[in-house]
């Protein structure tokens, strides 16, 4: 079986010197990749720049930095996958990138307001079996970090 796994977090640029990132380690995806290879599957791991790496040299890896880069990798590789394990932490918001570097003396108060664009969730695109208008046929398992509500498993 061809297994596609995502792991780690995205980093979205604010200006030429700064990014907004999350604290995802990528360990879950790296461990799943190792287990899938050990079970005899062909595995491609799409991982964030700072994510943990799998221990097995048999895991093929490709690196992403931003959510847009991950989306393009998924569009390229998901159609060939039999199963997708989506554990990457993808930013829901992308800052409107400033030109140059924002100088701290240009900020008029102690608060820096960053305009951002809400982007569509990659997981929902995978769950609905659509990438670039193509209907996909594969098994999808994904995760979402939530806070303050009870969570139950749900089949889609």
For residue 91, the model assigns a pLDDT of 86
For residue 96, the model assigns a pLDDT of 86
Which CATH number describes the domain made up of 2-100+109-142? 3.40.50.10300
Question: Could you tell me where the beta strands, DSSP code E, fall in the chain?
Answer: 2-7, 11-13, 19-21, 42-48, 60-64, 83-86, 93-95, 116-118, 130-131, 134-135, 139-142
- Express each pLDDT in 37-53 by its tens digit: 999 999 999 999 999 99
Mean pLDDT of 57-71: 95
Strand partners, 117: 94
**Distance of alpha carbon 118 from alpha carbon 23, whole angstroms:** 19
Where along the chain do its domains lie? 2-100+109-142
- Express each pLDDT in 83-130 by its tens digit: 889 899 888 888 888 888 888 776 666 667 778 887 766 666 665 555
Does the pLDDT value for residue 154 go beyond 90? no
Mean pLDDT of 50-69: 96
For residue 93, the model assigns a pLDDT of 82
Backbone torsions φ then ψ of 109, nearest 5 degrees: -140, -175
**Distance of alpha carbon 88 from alpha carbon 71, whole angstroms:** 11
Does the pLDDT value for residue 7 go beyond 60? yes
Whether the model pTM is above 0.85: no
Mean pLDDT of 59-77: 94
| SS3 label, residue 119 | coil
Does the pLDDT value for residue 156 go beyond 50? no
For residue 141, the model assigns a pLDDT of 62
């Amino acid at each position: 079986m061809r297994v596609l796994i995502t792991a780690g977090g995205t980093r979205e640029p604010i200006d030429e010197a700064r990014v907004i990132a999350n604290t995802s380690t990528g360990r879950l995806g790296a461990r799943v990749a190792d287990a899938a290879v050990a079970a005899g599957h062909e595995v491609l791991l799409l991982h964030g720049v700072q994510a943990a790496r799998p221990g097995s040299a048999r895991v093929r890896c490709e690196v992403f930095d931003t959510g847009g880069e991950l989306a393009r990798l998924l569009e390229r590789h998901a159609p060939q996958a039999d199963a997708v394990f989506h554990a990457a932490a993808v930013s829901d918001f992308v800052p409107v990138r400033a030109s140059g570097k924002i100088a701290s003396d240009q900020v008029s108060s102690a608060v820096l307001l960053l305009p951002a664009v809400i982007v569509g969730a990659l997981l929902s695109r995978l769950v609905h079996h659509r990438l670039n208008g193509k209907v996909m046929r594969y098994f999808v398992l994904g995760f979402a970090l939530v806070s303050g509500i009870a969570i139950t498993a749900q089949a889609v």
